[in-house]
Structure 1
Amino acid sequence: MTSTLNAAPGLHPGLGAMVHEQLTALAQRYDDAAERLGALGHRVGGLGQAHGAWTGPGSRAFRARVERHERTLARDVETCREAARSVRWAAAVLAERLAALETAAELGAPLVSVLSTLLGPGVVLPSLGSERRG
């Protein structure tokens, strides 16, 4: 997919493409956060192993805290990955639906023009909802 910023001059990317691009970038940020949290979890685990032989005062509390942080970070990594999957799914669905709406809008304007030409002047066209009847 061509980036919306790199679209050829004079060509405007569709709204669906822009939404897809932005949401995909958001999903990538979630993936990046998951990677960073995973690396942090490994460092915390390494810290716990490096001090594993320590049996002094507070050693059990320290190991328990390290294990708790490892579990919390692992849950956070999975949450970020799940969020990235959900955002990617939403990006695909929204882009598809917006593209369909854009196609309908592109087809609609010429169709109205042709119908008014065929049916003649004075044809009442349906309101687009901009007017309110009292």
Structure 2
Amino acid sequence: MTTPDPAAVEAAAAAIVDAFAATDTDRYFAGFARDATFVFHTEPSRLDDRAAYERLWQEWLQSGWRVTSCTSSDRRVQVFDGGAVFTHSVDTAVTTADGPESYRERETIVFAVRGDDLVAVHEHLSPLT
């Protein structure tokens, strides 16, 4: 197995956050493995693969949802043989059909080395109070 370079993990996480901030669907989901799982405090159950999240994302877009800003802070990278854990705090603002909303959350993204690629295999969001 290969232990990823912390800078590569930072770059992979930044690419995901930047794509999310731009509401760039293709670029955002490119950072996740097809079998990635997602746990969001705003959803009633775990999303068991990327396709499930992509369907939910499309529903959000169709309802008028768009990200207007997303700022990452308090980052930490922990590497291990075969992958890494990236944690940070995130401040997000969105526009919805009902108007603007904002969130302060903590996020964990678990990355795995797959061949020559570093891909996200799990994302977990919890509210930051």
TM-score (norm 2): 0.23
* Structure number with higher strand proportion: 2
The structure whose residues are more often helix, as a share, is 1
Compare relative contact order (CA 8 Å, sep 6+) and give the higher one, 1 or 2. Answer: 1
